[in-house]
Amino acid sequence: MGVDDVLRAACGPLFTGAVARVERGGALAFERAYGVTRDDELALPVYADTRFDLASLTKIFAAALALRAVERDALALDGPLVPWFPEWKGRPHAAITLRMLLAHTSGMNSGADYRQLLGSDVERFAVERDLVQPPGESVIYSDLGFIALGVLLSRLSDASLGAQVRDAFGDGDPAYRPPQAERSRIPATEADAWRGRVQGFVHDEKAYLMGGTAGHAGLFGTALSVARLTEAFLGPLRGRRSTLVSTDLGAQATSEQAFDPVLRRGLGWALKTSDDNSCGALFSRATFGHTGFVGTCVWADPERDLQAVLLTNTVYFGRSDTRELRAAFYDAAVEEFG
């Protein structure tokens, strides 16, 4: 099955809408939109430039902002962060470095039930919560660590996190907190007892409680915006120039910084560890990427100079595992374009 066959078969049963984009050698090879924004009478068509809730793909944008700060000597990958986190002075947190935050080895808890956070200052909760492991000891994929990263970026600059995203990536794509006029055109996500059907607002409950702007979730963007960010790291590995990060720092970001038997970690990026990962069996071990809970993902294979973005709203139909769909999409991308 080709990419189009895989996604046509999944449209309806697994998601209401999707956009797929495949690039080879930094050039567009395939882009197509599928389906509608929701499965009811309020449905609108999805187009190639439709913005989706990017969910945890927000993390790779936040990581890129942090790496830009490293390039500008405003931060050091292995320096202390206590100057920006006085709350950590005298606590185990004082050993946390930027590299640890980006590689998910800070020892911070993975997350928290949103019901535990109602009425709380979520940023303060994330920054001050006790660690569950000593910093640097092991990988714990952590939303709280990237909430702390968002706090760090805000404290480092006079500009808000949203303003920093606009400065780095331009033209309002991606962006936090879509305007009301756009919300009906954004594919809806889950219906929950708290908010009803979520559409045009961030699905992640912690980010929602933070007003929609956070380091771990909250960005809305197109497949093109995700591909542009990915190309900023893939291109230099293949001799193309990036204005975002240096070749050396980009190579560090997309190489192993921390081992995990399920999914190795770079700096912000996840790295293929086995054929059970959602990039499928055919992408090489050099592959880097990330996934998002609502049904978003990107993976790039430097050996093939191939990247593929898949934005969907699979969580619309429930929180079932979508690895099989993602793997079929990426295997098809290699067979068709790799």
User: Average pLDDT in the 19-29 region?
Assistant: 98
Do residues 314 and 22 lie in contact, with contact meaning Cβ atoms separated by under 8 Å? no
Phi-psi category of residue 55: left, alpha or beta, with phi > 0 → left and psi -120 to 50 → alpha: left
User: Average pLDDT in the 22-27 region?
Assistant: 98
pLDDT at 182: 98
Is pLDDT above 90 for 113? Answer: no
Which residue spans within the chain are E strands per DSSP? 17-24, 27-35, 52-53, 175-176, 191-192, 196-197, 219-221, 264-265, 270-271, 288-292, 296-301, 306-312
Give the largest CA-CA distance in the chain: 57
Residue that is written with structure tokens 């497949």 in the block: 223
pLDDT digits (tens, 9 = 90+) for 282-332: 999 999 999 999 999 999 999 999 999 999 999 999 999 999 999 999 999
Structure tokens at 131: 């660690």
Is pLDDT above 80 for 87? Answer: yes
In the chain the domains, ranked by start, together with CATH numbers, are 3-57+174-337 (3.40.710.10), 62-166 (no CATH)
pLDDT at 308: 98
φ/ψ of 43, rounded to 5, equals: -65, 140
User: Average pLDDT in the 162-178 region?
Assistant: 95
pLDDT at 268: 98
CA distances from 227 to 108, 130, 140, 221, 305 (A): 29, 36, 27, 10, 13
pTM: predicted TM-score of the whole model, two decimal places: 0.98
